[in-house]
Structure 1
Amino acid sequence: MTNKLVLIDGNSITYRAFFALPLLNNDKGVYTNAVYGFTTMLLRILEEQKPTHLLVAFDAGKTTFRHSTYKEYKGGRQKTPSELSEQFPLVRELLDAFNIRHYELENYEADDIIGTLSKQGQEKDFEVTVISGDKDMLQLVSKDVTVNVTKKGISEVEAYTPEYLLEKMEVTPEQIIELKALMGDSSDNIPGVPGVGQKTATKLLKQYETLDNLYEHLEEVSGKKLKENLTNHKEDAYMSRELATINCESPIEVSIDDLSYEGYSSQDVSSLFKDLGFQSLLNRIGAEETVEEIQEKMEEINFEIVDKVTEEMFTGDEALIIEMLSDSYHTAPIEGIGIANQEKAYFIPTEVAIESEVFKKWAEDAKSKKIVFDAKQSLVALLKKGIHLQGMHFDVLLASYLLDPSENNHDIPAIAHRMGIKSVLYDEEVYGKGAKMKVPGQEILADHLVRKTKALHLLQEKMEEELREHELYTLLKELEMPLALILAEMEHTGVLVDVPRLEEMGTELKRRLEEIEKEIYELAGEEFNINSPKQLGPILFEKLGLRIIKKTKTGYSTAADVLEQLEHDHEIIPKILLYRQLGKLQSTYIEGLLKVVDKESSKIHTRYNQALTQTGRLSSIEPNLQNIPIRIEEGRKIRHAFVPSEKDWILFAADYSQIELRVLAHIAKDEKLIAAFKSGQDIHTQTAMDVFHVKEEEVTSNMRRQAKAVNFGIVYGISDFGLSQNLGITRKEAKQFIERYFESYPGVKAYMDDIVQEAKHKGYVTTLMNRRRYLPEITSRNFNLRSFAERTAMNTPIQGTAADIIKKAMIDLREKLKDEKMQARMLLQVHDELILEAPKEELEKLKEIVPAMMENTVELSVPLKAEYAFGESWYDAK
């Protein structure tokens, strides 16, 4: 069998993969697009080339022996984006998992390593394939060496043999360096001869064959300017040839015998793929065995599939899982129920459980302790079946989230594997993923579900210990778990939507869009597709002659930030921006809301993500009711459609006033900020007075607006650049604003500095209620990563504490409403705002109770302030 040597240019392929694919990151927030692209190409190489010997070569550093010839070699190259440079170690880790040798040599480039090994390969009668995105490698082509050059990013390659090279480029392999000598190479900053491009260089080489021969017959060259350039830049041409020549005698410390390739362990690779989030590639490496095959290899687990629920099944301390394959649990069916205690495990088919009075009695018994995964989902799922689940005393999902909120995968198998429990399969190994997802046979389903349920017992023990160690146990038991039950009730209750009113709004919005469309056509002088950048660009920048801000590969950029800069240049621009805003309202909010309204009840049941954000804030999805745009009147009007669910009831909304700034005053212990809040002074007016050095009566609305931007910007660690963009001022002015702010509030400046140092020391920051956020990037050598972590360190204690306060207020309010035996109930939480519905006769009591509960839920060094409104709709309650 012929020995097959494959040599891969690691730098070139990784670069190409990075720029060919959109930025992707895995659940840990690590960028992976270059690694993913590199991996897909590597798998294709292994499948198609079937190498017996294999090496990936990398550049060792920025300086090579070529720099001693020409200091400007590769000069002018843009700095490697940090999002790419941080992926090179991952590519090397990937190669290790594949058992592929990788190598770099100080002072030499990957090209030189590849050139030297390809020469050795030819001498040993190997069939050699070189893979790169760099056409410099074409000088290595021979009867035994094929160079595959990537094109279209990395999705295709062009295989160069001597014959194909001659046909395609009209030169021989030996002439590639002569070609570079004449035409240069801007990507490597090789000068070449001015005025000589590929066409001219090829023509000269077809006539004279070599650079030496060309200069021996220079007088014969036609064209005065060409001859002059060749004469004046002879030294540049010879130096360029030297720079472009691959050194095939590099002093490498690897030989072909070291590159023998025996293949890889799919187990090692699949483990890394799962870590990187490359689930879609698992079947490419033969890692997708059948579920039966995988389960056979695992330790056998004893359980019973029950057809009748009996009291003997419950000992009083069970783990319980309500298995649903979709996150959309308001509409998804329950596939089965898993119950496990320390001795036995059971799989209960859904109908068997739901129809059993014994199961219902146990589920609703608050004294029967239950370890659950996702108390909120479990409660909502069973409430739909008429069972009010109680007695949940430990939630593994919320515990995992509190222990590390930066982890995106908090399902049971992922948590179990992180905690060293390997007896559980990943859900997608059992159910498949995406379009391939399906419910397996009952035996497989039962085995998987019982394994997960049993894992809850082990996880509770390990997690409780860790929570106590990190002082997070109280946060779980007294804040997050009680809140989960409240959120479940809110989700189950839903909020009523006036569907005809929403449809009417849609019709009105459509009519308004048609009007704006006509106005845009009149201003443009023709009709075109306003939503098409390809059509809009030429109208704005060619026909109307507006200044070009930015270009893209496909033409002119018409992105929102570009159009905003042109807003005062032509009256068509504000109309296009409004058209886009209204179009988004129509599609995302009007049509989007109508799609998710329950047909029978006319209610929307949004779903709250309690274990998602790293600050502790809640988010809402399906639909996202926290994001309805209210800056334009048309957006605010959508709230008209949210109405009380009972006759003679009202909606009551209460929200915290400037809670994050009040938290900042407390945490920073800034005396001036504290005094301003205690006196009831408008904080933005106070800041304007301090920053602009004026009296209260001299503060203009514009000054207050700028002060407001500074106040809220400070909370997010805003830079002078960010503030200048927000306010449309110069960076210098923005810098002065920030400096004057810190002069006025030195306690805030001290807090910002101290919290960053504390984060560097501890590796995390905490809220007042001890919620943690880990910041591993705070000591990164990468400026961008480190800066983001520093801003996060400043903001998280503030935003996270504000989130904790409203969560606690919800718990206190729920208890108060229950104690007072009121019918009022919470419907929605939108960041700092709570929306309730209640009978009109409870209004006076609500006015008293709701602000009191919100303002007194915690004690800070400044007063908390809650403002309320009420009315026939959510719009009226604002």
Structure 2
Amino acid sequence: METSQGYSLFFFHAYEKPLKLAEALSSRKMILFGKLKLHLLSQRKHLPRTGLQNQLSTSEAMLNSLQDLHPLPKIILEYRQVHKIKSTFVDGLLAYMKKGSISSTWNQTGTVTGRLSAKHPNIQGISKHPIQISKPRDFKGKEKETVTISPRALFVSSEGHTFLAADFSQIELRILAHLSGDPELLKLFQESEKDDVFSTLTSQWKEIPMERVTHMDREQTKKVVYSVVYGAGKERLAACLGVTVQEATHFLERFLKKYKKIKDFSQTVISQCHHAGYVTSILGRRRPLPRICAQDQKLRAQAERQAVNFVVQGSAADLCKLAMIRIFAAVATSPTLTARLVAQIHDELLFEVEDAQVPEFAALVRRMMESLQQVQTLELQLKVPLKVNLTVGRSWGHLAPL
């Protein structure tokens, strides 16, 4: 069938028949671009291509851009989400489960920024956001139903224990404020922080009153900020925001015009990297970037983005590792505390704590992590305070603020 409903029914029905679905997906390019010719209806001038034959891509970004033209791209995206949930949170976790629990393998040198990485399974890749999927529709036309899955809710603490998560709040943005010395950013963190940081940022650079800042505005600001921190290009930012490259460029330029010192900081880092061939984190850890002087403009631009990213994200990694070391030392020398670190997810540390020890341990963690603003032995003095958010709960997926 070639009708919208026909394709929809076929793909939803195929959820229950993986073999038929695999056969259908193997010819998805033929259906999307050969039969439906959606690429000709798209307003995007340069559609992503892949492979040696330079064929049109069926990436997530591509399918998202085609969603308004036909129901099929959305159906394929939904299938991929369902398949990912099954392979990651069912098959993936069961494969490494022993006696009702799992234990990841942690690597201290697996990432270029210095963050810890996990595998078998990758506990860091388990989303904290609930995932909603649509139940397959049937031919009777029943109302659409959704199922909500919270992947982290699968993990529960052992009897008599509670999970305590300690998360550095906006640590990369705080480090960016410290390193750039931008007066507007410094002021944002040096004051009492009565309001939400990203809402305040939105109000500042978009020049709109705080009460008119919407959730969408705030999320847009976060993406612009982290595109600067992570060194993402304009094309990547455009894909994240769901806007044209021209609009993304406008957002970025307007943001950097408001916070001028950020651009100066980036240019200084790139210039120093060109001269030395490497960049350093806030605690002196180096990352060599030999491609910073490459003849190829794309390779050189990539190295320049990596340079800025490492200085900010690598510095955040330094502080997280320092926090782990100090908390471990404090617990090891304590006559009463028995808490243990069970996972590190980027800027968050997850501990398992005896129920009776939660108040004492929570106070210790907050004090240790926030005191890293100033470390005299390492000659570290941040211009902005560090803030830690603490949450507790029996399930990793249902943690409540402490």
1:587 pairs, out of 77, 83, 87, with: 87
- Taking a change above 3 Å as real, the CA distance of residues 660 and 540 of structure 1, as seen in their structure-2 partners, is same
- Taking a change above 3 Å as real, the CA distance of residues 781 and 541 of structure 1, as seen in their structure-2 partners, is closer
Query: Secondary structure in 2 aligned to 1:530?
Result: helix
Query: Secondary structure in 1 aligned to 2:20?
Result: coil
Sequence identity percentage: 34
Give matches, 1:103-122, under 5 Å: none
Residue in structure 1 matched with residue 175 of structure 2 by the alignment: 663
1:529 pairs, out of 8, 20, 23, with: 20
Residue in structure 2 matched with residue 312 of structure 1 by the alignment: none
Residue in structure 1 matched with residue 107 of structure 2 by the alignment: 609
- Taking a change above 3 Å as real, the CA distance of residues 521 and 602 of structure 1, as seen in their structure-2 partners, is closer
Whole-Å Cα distance in 2 between the matches of residues 830 and 658 of structure 1?
A: 14
2:338 pairs, out of 823, 841, 853, with: 823
Name the amino acid aligned to 1:535: S
| Cα drift, residue 602 of structure 1 | 2.4
Question: How many residues were matched structurally?
Answer: 359
1:534–1:556 Cα contact (<8 Å) kept? no
Provide, for residues 225-276 of structure 1, a one-character-per-residue CA deviation record: whole Å limited to 9, x for no partner. Answer: xxxxxxxxxxxxxxxxxxxxxxxxxxxxxxxxxxxxxxxxxxxxxxxxxxxx
1:876 pairs, out of 393, 398, 401, with: 398
1:757 and 2:257 are equivalent in the alignment: no
| Cα drift, residue 812 of structure 1 | 1.1
Moved more, 679-688 or 527-536: 527-536
Name the amino acid aligned to 1:608: W
TM-score by length of 1: 0.39
1:653–1:869 Cα contact (<8 Å) kept? yes
Give matches, 1:337-356, under 5 Å: none
Give matches, 1:186-335, under 5 Å: none
Residue in structure 2 matched with residue 259 of structure 1 by the alignment: none
Whole-Å Cα distance in 1 between the matches of residues 124 and 246 of structure 2?
A: 35
Provide, for residues 463-504 of structure 1, a one-character-per-residue CA deviation record: whole Å limited to 9, x for no partner. Answer: xxxxxxxxxxxxxxxxxxxxxxxxxxxxxxxxxxxxxxxxxx
Whole-Å Cα distance in 1 between the matches of residues 48 and 232 of structure 2?
A: 25
Mind listing any 5+ residue stretches in structure 1 that lack a counterpart? 1-515
| Cα drift, residue 576 of structure 1 | 2.0
Give matches, 1:402-801, under 5 Å: 520-521=11-12, 529-532=20-23, 533-541=25-33, 546-547=38-39, 553=53, 557-598=57-98, 601-633=99-131, 637-645=150-158, 647-679=159-191, 680=193, 681-801=195-315
Query: Secondary structure in 1 aligned to 2:319?
Result: helix
| Cα drift, residue 644 of structure 1 | 1.7
Residue in structure 2 matched with residue 219 of structure 1 by the alignment: none
Give matches, 1:103-142, under 5 Å: none
Q: What root-mean-square deviation, in Å, do the aligned CA atoms of Structure 1 and Structure 2 show?
A: 2.8
Give matches, 1:9-48, under 5 Å: none
Query: Secondary structure in 2 aligned to 1:822?
Result: coil
Whole-Å Cα distance in 1 between the matches of residues 19 and 95 of structure 2?
A: 30
Name the amino acid aligned to 1:572: L
Name the amino acid aligned to 2:150: K
Whole-Å Cα distance in 2 between the matches of residues 644 and 528 of structure 1?
A: 38
Query: Secondary structure in 2 aligned to 1:857?
Result: helix
Whole-Å Cα distance in 2 between the matches of residues 705 and 643 of structure 1?
A: 30
Whole-Å Cα distance in 2 between the matches of residues 685 and 561 of structure 1?
A: 27
TM-score by length of 2: 0.81
1:812–1:857 Cα contact (<8 Å) kept? no
Whole-Å Cα distance in 2 between the matches of residues 856 and 538 of structure 1?
A: 58
Whole-Å Cα distance in 1 between the matches of residues 198 and 307 of structure 2?
A: 24
Name the amino acid aligned to 1:612: G
Whole-Å Cα distance in 2 between the matches of residues 744 and 644 of structure 1?
A: 46
Give matches, 1:5-84, under 5 Å: none
1:720–1:731 Cα contact (<8 Å) kept? yes
Whole-Å Cα distance in 2 between the matches of residues 730 and 550 of structure 1?
A: 14
Provide, for residues 821-850 of structure 1, a one-character-per-residue CA deviation record: whole Å limited to 9, x for no partner. Answer: 212111111111111111111122233222
Query: Secondary structure in 1 aligned to 2:27?
Result: helix
| Cα drift, residue 756 of structure 1 | 0.7
Whole-Å Cα distance in 2 between the matches of residues 559 and 807 of structure 1?
A: 35
| Cα drift, residue 536 of structure 1 | 2.8
Q: List structure 1 runs of 4+ shifted beyond 6 angstroms.
A: none
Whole-Å Cα distance in 2 between the matches of residues 857 and 749 of structure 1?
A: 26
| Cα drift, residue 545 of structure 1 | 5.5
2:384 pairs, out of 853, 856, 862, with: 862
Mind listing any 5+ residue stretches in structure 2 that lack a counterpart? 1-6, 41-46, 133-147, 375-381
Provide, for residues 529-571 of structure 1, a one-character-per-residue CA deviation record: whole Å limited to 9, x for no partner. Answer: 3334333334444555644567774976433232111122223
2:373–2:385 Cα contact (<8 Å) kept? no
Name the amino acid aligned to 1:623: P
Provide, for residues 671-718 of structure 1, a one-character-per-residue CA deviation record: whole Å limited to 9, x for no partner. Answer: 110110122143322332232222222323222222111111111223
Whole-Å Cα distance in 1 between the matches of residues 258 and 233 of structure 2?
A: 18
1:691–1:737 Cα contact (<8 Å) kept? no
Query: Secondary structure in 1 aligned to 2:123?
Result: coil
2:162–2:392 Cα contact (<8 Å) kept? yes
1:805–1:858 Cα contact (<8 Å) kept? no
Moved more, 586-595 or 770-779: 586-595
Name the amino acid aligned to 2:310: T
- Taking a change above 3 Å as real, the CA distance of residues 779 and 603 of structure 1, as seen in their structure-2 partners, is same
Whole-Å Cα distance in 2 between the matches of residues 823 and 785 of structure 1?
A: 49
Whole-Å Cα distance in 1 between the matches of residues 55 and 386 of structure 2?
A: 52
Whole-Å Cα distance in 2 between the matches of residues 792 and 542 of structure 1?
A: 39
1:538–1:556 Cα contact (<8 Å) kept? no
Whole-Å Cα distance in 2 between the matches of residues 686 and 584 of structure 1?
A: 36
Name the amino acid aligned to 1:780: A
Name the amino acid aligned to 1:664: L
Q: Greater relative contact order: 1 or 2 (C-alpha under 8 angstroms, separation 6 or more)?
A: 2
| Cα drift, residue 519 of structure 1 | 6.6
1:775–1:789 Cα contact (<8 Å) kept? yes
Whole-Å Cα distance in 2 between the matches of residues 626 and 654 of structure 1?
A: 15
Query: Secondary structure in 2 aligned to 1:726?
Result: helix
Query: Secondary structure in 1 aligned to 2:22?
Result: coil
Q: For the pair shown, which has the larger CA radius of gyration, 1 or 2?
A: 1
Provide, for residues 776-825 of structure 1, a one-character-per-residue CA deviation record: whole Å limited to 9, x for no partner. Answer: 11111110111011111111111011001010101111122233321211
Query: Secondary structure in 1 aligned to 2:125?
Result: coil
1:517–1:579 Cα contact (<8 Å) kept? no
Name the amino acid aligned to 1:823: T
Query: Secondary structure in 1 aligned to 2:223?
Result: helix
1:668–1:748 Cα contact (<8 Å) kept? yes
1:650–1:840 Cα contact (<8 Å) kept? yes
- Taking a change above 3 Å as real, the CA distance of residues 765 and 545 of structure 1, as seen in their structure-2 partners, is closer
Whole-Å Cα distance in 1 between the matches of residues 26 and 300 of structure 2?
A: 38
1:629–1:636 Cα contact (<8 Å) kept? no
